[in-house]
Amino acid sequence: MPERKKILRPVLTLAFFVAVMIVAVPALPGAFAHGGHQPPAADFSGKKVSLFVNLEPLVVTDMSQPVYINARLFDENTNANFQHVNYRIFFKKDGREIPIVTEGGQFGGQGFFYDPEGDLQIKIVPRDTESAVARGEAEPFLGGIRNRGGPVVVEGPIFTEPGLYNLFVEIWTVDTPRTQVAEPLQYDVWVTPGREEMISVAEGSQTYEVKIRNYYGAIDSSEYQPDTKTIEFSMPFDWTSDLPSRMGMLHTEVFIPKEMADFDKDSLRGKVNGIDVPVFVVPTSFSGDDTTVVHFTISKQNLINIAERVKSENLSPDAAVFSLSPPDPENEVHVAQTSPESENYKVSLTWPEQILPEQPVTFGIRIADKSDDQPISSATYELVILDKDGNEVSRAGGVTTAEGISSQDMTFTSQGAFTVKVEKIRGSSESVQSSLTVVPEFPVGIASVAAALGIGGIIVAARRKTM
């Protein structure tokens, strides 16, 4: 790697990221999300138990600003909350446990929280102290602190520094505070105070400011290479650890001014540690804004593959080095776009016009209010792929960013016709769908997208539910 110089301006804002890695017992597939997540439902006495967790706000202005953690335990079949829920919650940072001290009850001091309606809200106040302490009224059986009339306030060394935190959530009682479940439901959630930083890009007599929204740590160096028009930046990341295999996805966003026209394209060339990776590009023609937004969305399997190459080829194993450059004109990837609607939502979908088997494909999702086309932040959804016979091929959950945008990295193992559905939009029963075709590798000149033939909004239920 060439030597990189640090050209960072001071931190402007912080953003929060959530990625669920281990979900309710029995184990279910992991997933990835911004701002919040609803993992797949677990079976509990014949009911489909789901836990929705989110952090507010999506963006904070400094590390001392309070952050709210909201948790809701509900039956996915009826959308009704479970009552009298006792949660046990604690954190880990860099493998070190950060317990939350609570008082009262048989299990006082072990981080129990209680809500009779199943909704829990915790207000995290970052403090540079030895331990985290929760204050409030204790439920008598397990000593769970309850949020009567407002959130439970927790003060302590949580979100006081950049980097990944593990939030562990256990469900100990359901429907009665006095009877424990046979085996607590367990969730392991990654949460991190990320950063938005500005890097200066000098090209000729002009200097541009490029914003990086980074969820893993502070950017330690950056560089612009004018001969290849390459933007490069790096942050600490240990490729030799088990982190790549435990993370659901590595996601970083780059906001490039419209004036840098070489980057205002349908596609760009992205690399991590010198290895090509798919990126999702939102050009100004799509967003209507004055910046091109680029999402690095690197799936878990791709992360594992990159880690193996980084270790074997010694490609900066102690850092994640991102680079962006304009596409080769002869190999530029053009993007198909559709905008199906449900009763309350307009969902814009993008994907490469040509999709080949066994090659990563990045789907872009933008969720907006149908009435005024305003983007919706923290909108949960599930992206589902069905084959021509209606069989489910894959399913992945996500949450939109502050700009109403999200993306998913998927790989098709075979050619043929497929249906793309966006389901459970904002926890409702509304969904939309479009169609696409995966072509064999040889007929490059054949049009591969049938989206215009299959656009349709499906309203399974008119009820709108906002998490």
- How far apart, in Å, are the Cα atoms of 3 and each of 66, 197, 306? 38, 20, 21
Q: Which residues of 43-74 are buried (b: 16+ CB within 10 A; e: fewer)?
A: ebeebebbbbbbbbbbbbeebebbbebbbbbb
Residues 43 and 137 reside in one and the same domain: yes
152-156, 409-413, 435-439: which range is least confident on average? 409-413
Q: Which residue has the higher pLDDT, 87 or 161?
A: 87
Give residue-wise pLDDT tens across range 188-208: 877 766 678 899 999 888 999
Looking at residue 351, its pLDDT comes to 86
Return the pLDDT at 163: 75
Looking at the fold, whether 408 and 372 belong to one and the same domain comes out as: yes
Residues 174 and 74 in one domain: yes
Lowest mean pLDDT among 62-66, 171-175, 347-351: 62-66
* pLDDT at 444 (0 to 100): 41
pLDDT(386) > 90:
yes
Q: What domain range includes position 24?
A: 16-191
pLDDT at 197: 87
What is the model's pLDDT at position 14?
Answer: 38
Residue 148's contacts (CB-CB under 8 Å, 6 or more residues apart) are 136, 137
Return the residue matching tokens 């929060």: 16
The pLDDT score that the predictor gives to residue 464 is: 35
Would the pLDDT of 452 be above 70?
no
pTM of the model: 0.71
Indicate the DSSP class of residue 341: B
Residue 456 is predicted with a pLDDT of: 35
Residue 86: inside a domain: yes
Residue 5 placed within a domain: no
Q: Are strands 47-56 and 36-37 parallel, antiparallel or unpaired?
A: antiparallel
Average pLDDT, the chain: 79
pLDDT: is 23 or 118 the higher one? 118
With cut-offs at 50, 70 and 90, classify the pLDDT of residue 216. confident
Q: Which range, 157-166, 323-332, 410-419, has the best average confidence (pLDDT)?
A: 410-419
Highest mean pLDDT among 38-47, 73-82, 425-434, 436-445: 425-434
User: What is residue 433's predicted lDDT score, i.e. its pLDDT?
Assistant: 93
Residue 37 lies in a domain: yes
Based on the domain organization, do 157 and 272 belong to the same domain? no
CB 353 within 8 A of CB 335: yes
Residues 214 and 227 in one domain: yes
Q: Do 144 and 212 reside in the same domain of the chain? A: no
Q: Band the pLDDT of 454: cuts 50, 70, 90.
A: very low
Quote the CA–CA distance of 30 and 16 in Å, as a whole number: 19
For residue 110, give the amino acid letter: Q
Residue 208 has φ and ψ, to the nearest 5°, of -115, 150
Judgement on whether residues 283 and 355 belong to the same structural domain of the protein: no
For residues 42 and 200, which has the higher predicted lDDT (pLDDT)? 200
Nearest-5° angle of CA 330, CA 254, CA 412? Answer: 55
Count Cβ atoms within 10 A of the Cβ of residue 322 and give its class: 0-12 exposed, 13-18 middle, 19 or more buried.
Answer: buried
Quote the DSSP letter at residue 439: P
At 244-261, the pLDDT tens digits run 887 767 888 899 999 999
Question: Do 135 and 59 sit in the same domain of this protein?
Answer: yes
Q: Is residue 4 part of a domain?
A: no
Same domain? 440 vs 397: yes
Q: What is the dihedral of CA 25, 30, 31, 36, to 10 degrees?
A: 30
**Within-domain flag for 52:** yes
Chain position carrying tokens 């500005």: 198
353 close to 362: Cβ distance less than 8 angstroms: no
Task: Compute CA distances 446 → 256, 297, 356, 440, 442, whole Å.
Answer: 33, 28, 12, 10, 9
Which among 176-185, 287-296, 309-318, 365-374 has the top mean pLDDT? 309-318
Structure confidence at residue 447 as a pLDDT band (50, 70, 90): very low
- For residue 332, what pLDDT is reported? 66
Domain end residue (candidates: 191, 220, 251):
191
Q: Are residues 37 and 73 in the same domain?
A: yes
Query: How do residues 157-185 score in pLDDT, each as one tens digit?
Result: 998 887 778 889 999 999 888 788 888 88
Residue 255 lies in a domain: yes
Domain limit, last residue, from 278, 300, 331 = 331
165-173 and 137-138 as β-strands: parallel, antiparallel, unpaired?
Answer: unpaired
**Last residue of one domain, picked from the residues 303, 331, 359:** 331
In a domain, 2, yes or no: no
Average pLDDT (433-448) is 66
More confident residue, 298 or 221: 221
User: Amino acid identity of 305?
Assistant: N
Is there a domain that residue 11 lies in?
Answer: no
Total count of domains within the chain: 3
CATH of the domain at 393: 2.60.40.1930
212 and 153 within one domain: no
Q: Find the mean pLDDT for residues 261-272.
A: 90
Q: Which residue has the higher pLDDT, 295 or 125?
A: 125
Same domain, 260 and 200: yes
